[in-house]
Amino acid sequence: MPEIQPYTDQDRLFIDTIRTLSIDAVQAANSGHPGAPLSLAPAAYVLYRRIMNYNPVDPNWPDRDRFVLSAGHASMLLYGSLFISGFDIALDDIKQFRQLNSLTPGHPEYRHTPGVETTTGPLGQGFANGVGMAIAEKYLRERYGSEVTDHRIYAICSDGDLMEGITSEAASIAGHLGLGRMIYLYDDNNITIDGSTDLAFTEDVTKRFDAYGWHTLTVDDGEDLEAIEAAIRAGIAEEHRPTLIRLKTIIGHHAPNKRGTHAVHGSALGPDEVAATKEALGWDPEQHFHVPAELALESQAFCRSRGVNLQIEWQNRYDAWAQQNPQLHDEWYSTLLGSVRPGLGELMPTFADTPKMSTRVAGKESMQAVGKHVGNMIGGSADLVGSTLTNFNGDASFTKEHAGRNIHWGIREHAMAAAVNGIALHGGVAKPYGSTFFVFSDYMKPSIRLSALMSLDVTWVFTHDSVAVGEDGPTHEPIEHLAALRAVPGLIVFRPADATETAAIWQLAVEELRGPVVLVLTRQDLPVLDRSKLPSAKEVVRGAYTLVDAEHPDAIIVATGSEVATAMSAQELLAAKGVTVRVVSMPSWELFGIQQEEYRESVLPAGVPKISVEAASSFGWAKWVDHSVAIDSFGASGPADQVLAHFGITPENVAAQVEKTIARLAKAKA
């Protein structure tokens, strides 16, 4: 461990600048959390000035250390640190804290503020994102070498983070995998919004993390810069276990009348307390947003110069590596640019000679092709590989000893989802994925929402998609889940009709689509549609397309997933009665919704009765159709065909509902 150089009065002036900027910004906005920035400014300063490798001139330098402020409510701590560290944040941006369209929103937002590595705010998410980042770092370091990837993940988390269940799952898998490149500082200030943590949180955190297999340390004084640095460096030296540093702080430190109370947690200090705090720090209470000019210039110049030199040193190592490893370089660099090398289509499976296949099995075969072509795609399932079939055959598992491609998340859907986001946030890994039964997407919903909010290139793979799960019953039969995910802005949800659509969607998701993609797949076998007589499955790119057409149709049946085959059988029953029906496969509402109006009208023309068929909630279908054959209750336990019949998901009932809808609309028109 290097010798720790003493901290000077100038260092403390930097720290107090972060503090005063934070309380001024919160006061000006009359909104925010001043307490944590006041108490954590020393720790943040040690990280940004003495510990972390980053380049403010190029915040996306691939081999930078990552910093996650899991306690996102303390966002001014981060903005103040980024400002004095030379990132592209001006004093005017600090003054616009929590204002519309500013660079300093109420919680850190990815892709919005330079130097922010992930969107935090929902407590525990950032903690688990960091675990994913550490998984990505370990995987990339093993695959490409330390010339390309050789850095660490740092985070600050709060009592609130550690109370959230997602953190327990994430800490457990991090300890199990021995992610030694993680160093987390736990802000142990004994205060939450309601008051003392004694109200609800009295566990021994150190013992808990010891049990998870973490390296635990304690710093008794959050103002002791040398002790903070020594603890962080001890964490750096521990390569085989993640490190949690229990940092004892006084929330709102230096606010003489409110320090150590919940009054400084979620509201501005007030003008009098701001003035009193500045006086306690030896600052002029009449000066607001004051930054000693020479101080800011020195700090920013130092951090920028240091960062540029660090990146140049890395670039030299990287260039030499790239010359010696052209194929690996091509793979890594294209992923970094967000693209996949051409040629995947040649590898994708075809199913022309297969009469029936579940879409989960088709998904498995598609994944094998993707895995062969995209060597740096990783992910796994929540202890359900045997059911979701989402792993790369023949590839190694990700373990403490070896960073293979197949991650065994265990029964930890919450942590899996947030960590997959972290893998994507880290960069260098292509389309990381997480998988479980569709009904358990409920456990993952907050992270799925954040994947959409951050526009992350992740793939969510869900199987056992409907009441056709059968005997497992309503606890395992998703009903409202499609509607819930379709409601998330920026999320593309697919429910393929057959094996061929499944392969086409996998190719589309990997090669063309940006942002998060959801695949919803069946357990039961479905007919593989004869594409020699029907349109190509490549039409899934439009979201919906005419599968079976009829000249001047009397009605249109719109179906998704397993119900497309049901719709086609209903069409045949109606044709025998002289009722002409068009059948539309609609695997993705989202992609269909962004097509040109002319195309949408050609598929679903106005004035023609439209009926949807989907073994799920009818919620939302009114946008597209006049009537829905759906399930607006919970499911039931029994053999799949009996359960489907019980809920009217049969060709006979669909045909009857089509006739009733035609008659009803004709009567209304008359």
Can you tell me the distance from the alpha carbon of 268 to that of 281, in angstroms, rounded to the nearest whole number? 18
| Residue 191 phi, psi (nearest 5) | -130, 135
Question: Is the separation of the CB atoms in 242 and 214 below 8 Å?
Answer: yes
The yes-or-no answer on residue 511 being catalytic is: no
Termini Cα distance of the chain: 87
Residue 463 parent element (H or E):
strand 459-463
User: Encoding tokens for residue 347?
Assistant: 């590898």
User: Encoding tokens for residue 126?
Assistant: 């950032």
Within 10 angstroms of residue 632's Cβ, the number of other Cβ atoms is 12
Can you tell me the distance from the alpha carbon of 317 to that of 520, in angstroms, rounded to the nearest whole number? 43
Can you tell me the distance from the alpha carbon of 220 to that of 406, in angstroms, rounded to the nearest whole number? 40
Distance set, CA 57 to CA 153, 303, 310, 350, 440 (Å):
20, 9, 11, 48, 42
Q: Which amino acid is at 364?
A: K
| Residue 212 phi, psi (nearest 5) | -75, -15
Residues 6+ apart with CB under 8 A from 7: 225, 226
Of the candidates 417, 489, 502, 480, the one whose C-alpha atom is nearest the C-alpha of residue 452 is 489
Which three-class secondary structure state does DSSP give residue 369? helix
Question: Is the separation of the CB atoms in 129 and 157 below 8 Å?
Answer: no
Can you tell me the distance from the alpha carbon of 99 to that of 619, in angstroms, rounded to the nearest whole number? 35
Within 10 angstroms of residue 325's Cβ, the number of other Cβ atoms is 16
Annotate 493-533 with three-state secondary structure. Answer: EECCCCHHHHHHHHHHHHHCCCCCEEEECCCCCEECCCCCC
Q: Strand 545-548 vs strand 581-585: parallel, antiparallel, or unpaired?
A: antiparallel
Of the candidates 179, 170, 130, the one whose C-alpha atom is nearest the C-alpha of residue 412 is 170
Q: In angstroms, what is the C-alpha Rg of the chain?
A: 28
The residue whose two tokens read 């393929």 is 496
Query: What would the DSSP string read from start to end of 70-95?
Result: SSGGGHHHHHHHHHHTT-S--HHHHH
Can you tell me the distance from the alpha carbon of 447 to that of 604, in angstroms, rounded to the nearest whole number? 34
Q: Residues 33, 39, 42, 43: what is their CA dihedral angle, to the nearest 10 degrees?
A: -80
**Catalytic position from the list 169, 273, 413, 477:** 413
Question: Is the separation of the CB atoms in 123 and 161 below 8 Å?
Answer: yes
Question: Is the separation of the CB atoms in 117 and 154 below 8 Å?
Answer: no
Of the candidates 526, 458, 455, 471, the one whose C-alpha atom is nearest the C-alpha of residue 495 is 526
Can you tell me the distance from the alpha carbon of 63 to that of 60, in angstroms, rounded to the nearest whole number? 9
Annotated catalytic residues are 413
